[in-house]
Amino acid sequence: MNQEFFMYREYPLVRSGNQIYYGYMSDPYVVMMQIQHQQKNEEGLMVADKIKVYQIATNEPDPVKAIVKTSDRPNLYEAVDLAHVWLKRAEKDTSAQ
């Protein structure tokens, strides 16, 4: 079953509830962003204003040990921007080995 995902800056971006996954599960790392708080903006739309970002090793079976890096971000733009930097650095590091 082929499934099309929303792509952002070369990587798939998939949301499931309050969790957003960024990256390919076949790569060594993927980033999970967890929306911890959201509020209504001026237009009445719910906007995330507190996001926890986790870089996760995809080959580690223990979910606690799989977490490589964590960070907090105040909005989705900053969270995805950080996630992209982490994935690019990981890609660069694994290709150098």
pLDDT tens, 59-75? 999 989 999 999 999 99
Type of residue numbered 17: G
> Is residue 79 in some structural domain?
no
Q: What is the mean pLDDT of the chain?
A: 92
Give the domain range for residue 33.
6-74
> Is residue 87 in some structural domain?
no
> Is residue 86 in some structural domain?
no
Mean pLDDT of 36-55: 95
Q: Say if CB 42 and CB 53 are below 8 A apart.
A: no
> Is residue 18 in some structural domain?
yes
Is the pLDDT assigned to residue 22 strictly greater than 90? yes
How many domains is the chain built from? Answer: 1
**Strand pairing of 67-73 and 11-16?**
unpaired
> Is residue 81 in some structural domain?
no
